[in-house]
Amino acid sequence: MSNTTDIQAIGERVEALLAEFASASDPAIAGRAEELVGLLVDFYGAGLARIMELLDKQAAAPLLADKAVAGLLVLHDLHPQSTEERVLAALDRVRPYLGSHAGDVEYLGLDDDGTVRLRLAGSCDGCPSSALTVKMAIEKGIEDVAPEVTKVEVEGMVPESASGLSAPEGRTLLPLAQVSKQPETPASTWVEIDGIENIGQGQVVPKLVADTAAVVCNVAGSLYAYADRCPACGSGLAGGKLAGALLTCPGCTQRYDVVRAGRGWSDASQASSTAEAHLDPLPLLTENGGVRIAVPAQAVS
Does one domain contain both 177 and 201? Answer: no
User: Comparing C-alpha atoms, which of 160, 156, 155 is closest to residue 117?
Assistant: 155
- Distant-in-sequence, close-in-space partners of 257: CB < 8 Å, separation ≥ 6: 245, 246, 263, 264, 265
Question: How distant, in Å, are the alpha carbons of 14, 78, 83, 232 from that of 86?
Answer: 27, 13, 5, 42
Reduced to 3 states (helix: H, G, I; strand: E, B; else coil), residue 292 is: strand
What percentage of the chain reaches a pLDDT higher than 70? 72
pLDDT of residue 176: 33
Does one domain contain both 51 and 146? Answer: no
Does one domain contain both 131 and 87? Answer: yes
Q: What's the alpha-carbon Rg for the chain, to the nearest Å?
A: 22
pLDDT of residue 280: 85
Q: Report whether 4 contacts 69 (CB < 8 A).
A: no
pLDDT in tens, 139-163: 878 887 888 888 888 876 554 433 3
pLDDT of residue 132: 61
Does one domain contain both 205 and 294? Answer: yes
pLDDT of residue 133: 64
pLDDT in tens, 169-223: 333 333 333 333 333 444 567 888 887 777 888 889 998 888 889 999 988 888 8
- Is pLDDT of 1 > 50? no
pLDDT of residue 145: 83
Separation CA 165–CA 149 (nearest Å):
7
Does one domain contain both 103 and 114? Answer: yes
> Residue 221's domain is classified under what CATH number?
2.102.10.10
* Side-chain-side CA neighbours of residue 70 (13 Å): 18
Does one domain contain both 18 and 54? Answer: yes
pLDDT in tens, 63-105: 887 877 888 888 888 888 899 998 998 888 777 665 555 557 7
The parent domain of residue 106 ranges over 83-191
The more confident residue out of 207 and 1 is 207
pLDDT of residue 247: 93
Does one domain contain both 187 and 201? Answer: no
pLDDT of residue 237: 92
What distance lies between CA 119 and its chain's CA centroid?
A: 17
pLDDT in tens, 50-74: 999 998 888 888 888 787 788 888 8
Ramachandran bin of 239, using left for φ above 0, alpha for ψ from -120 to 50, beta for the remaining angles: left
* Side-chain-side CA neighbours of residue 92 (13 Å): 7
Helix segments in the chain, DSSP class H: 2-22, 27-54, 57-65, 67-75, 83-102, 130-145
Does one domain contain both 226 and 187? Answer: no
Mean pLDDT of the chain: 76
Does one domain contain both 197 and 213? Answer: yes
**DSSP state letter for 249:** P
Does one domain contain both 50 and 93? Answer: no
Of the pLDDT bands very low, low, confident and very high (cuts 50, 70, 90), residue 122 is low
- Distant-in-sequence, close-in-space partners of 167: CB < 8 Å, separation ≥ 6: 150, 151, 178, 180, 181
Does one domain contain both 197 and 284? Answer: yes
Which of 75, 107, 124 is a domain's end point?
Answer: 75
Q: What is the chain's length?
A: 301
Of the pLDDT bands very low, low, confident and very high (cuts 50, 70, 90), residue 275 is low
Of the pLDDT bands very low, low, confident and very high (cuts 50, 70, 90), residue 262 is confident
Q: Report whether 292 contacts 268 (CB < 8 A).
A: no
Separation CA 84–CA 61 (nearest Å):
19
Which of 191, 222, 241 is a domain's end point?
Answer: 191
CA torsion angle 120 126 129 131 (round to 10): 20
Which is it for strands 115-121 and 104-110: parallel, antiparallel or unpaired?
antiparallel
Does one domain contain both 25 and 63? Answer: yes
pLDDT of residue 84: 92
Number of domains in the chain: 3
- Is pLDDT of 10 > 70? yes
Of the pLDDT bands very low, low, confident and very high (cuts 50, 70, 90), residue 230 is very high
